């Protein structure tokens, strides 16, 4: 199997462990080593690259993940669209543990993370208004419904630094703002995918109510999260593998690369010699 792929999945090792003829490759990047090797396989006739976000043995905490290396590694293999499933907490009573949320917005509350490829000399400003691809979101919602899972079609995920969970005051603050989901990894992961011209879709698997959302409930623990996520792991695995087969045949129609066109911030017209970072070294 050639070391190329068109679709990427950033998640746990459970996805590729279900498949046959999985090919493991190590990828070097200008940003250091990714979280782990990348595992290549064929799903529904599509070439797919699976990358364990926290490493195959879950040894990398969210604030220490090399997000730029992970995303660059996928892009270097030819990936044009990424599925980014994650465990997440609920900030809204209507979003229950066990539900899936297909997020359409994020709020960044992290600090100190390397969160851009565009450090110059080409000054680049990309719109984050629609980070999550609407076509892939629609396909994800349809797939989740077809599997009989309660799904929320919209949701804002607030991304906290970790590794600690929120205080009750922080949790109430986020909930009062009207946000639905809380997580530690969607930023800058999803955003960096967009910076390299890859369409991205998130599926948040709700494992708990965040502290302070429901009065009188116990604060979330890591054990609680793992217990619920493990119980629902098979559901998210089946959804993701099914979703891959529903992706558009031509991923270029999603327009993720074209969205990077009008992003220069120095006022100059784009010239032939204006080679963008995501097109170099790959």
CA gap 235, 202 in Å, rounded: 15
Cα 95 to Cα 39, 109, 234: the distances in Å are: 33, 21, 20
Query: Does residue 21 carry a catalytic annotation?
Result: no
Query: Does residue 210 carry a catalytic annotation?
Result: yes
Sign of the C-alpha dihedral computed for residues 67, 81, 179 and 93 taken in this order: negative
One of 36, 104, 133, 208 is an active-site residue; which one?
208
The DSSP bridge partners found for residue 88 are 206
- Cis ω for the linkage preceding 188 (within 30 of 0): yes
One of 99, 133, 210, 242 is an active-site residue; which one?
210
Positions annotated as catalytic residues are: 208, 210
């Amino acid at each position: 199997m050639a070391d190329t792929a068109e679709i990427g999945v950033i998640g746990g090792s459970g996805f590729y462990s279900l498949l046959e003829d999985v090919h493991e490759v190590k990828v070097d990047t200008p940003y250091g080593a990714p979280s782990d090797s990348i595992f290549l396989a064929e799903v529904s006739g599509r070439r797919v690259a699976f990358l364990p976000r926290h490493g195959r043995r879950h040894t990398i905490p969210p604030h220490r993940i090399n997000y730029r290396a992970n995303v660059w590694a996928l892009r270097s293999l030819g990936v044009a669209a990424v599925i980014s499933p994650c465990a997440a907490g609920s900030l809204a009573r209507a979003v229950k543990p066990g539900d899936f949320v297909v997020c359409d917005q994020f709020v960044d509350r992290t600090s100190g993370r390397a969160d851009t490829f565009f450090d110059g000399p080409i000054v680049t400003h990309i719109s984050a208004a629609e980070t999550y691809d609407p076509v892939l979101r629609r396909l994800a919602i349809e797939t989740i419904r077809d599997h009989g899972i309660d799904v929320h079609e919209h949701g804002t995920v607030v991304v906290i630094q970790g590794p600690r969970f929120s205080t009750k005051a922080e949790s109430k603050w986020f909930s009062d703002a009207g946000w639905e989901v809380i997580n530690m990894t969607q930023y800058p992961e999803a955003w960096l995918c967009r910076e390299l011209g890859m369409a991205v879709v998130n599926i948040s698997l709700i494992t708990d109510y965040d502290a302070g959302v429901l009065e009188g409930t116990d604060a979330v623990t890591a054990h609680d999260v793992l217990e619920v996520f493990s119980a629902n792991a098979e559901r998210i695995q089946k959804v993701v593998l099914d979703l891959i087969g529903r992706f558009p045949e031509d991923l270029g129609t999603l327009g993720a690369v074209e969205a990077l066109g009008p992003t220069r911030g120095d006022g100059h017209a784009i010239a032939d010699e204006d080679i963008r970072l995501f097109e170099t070294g790959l």
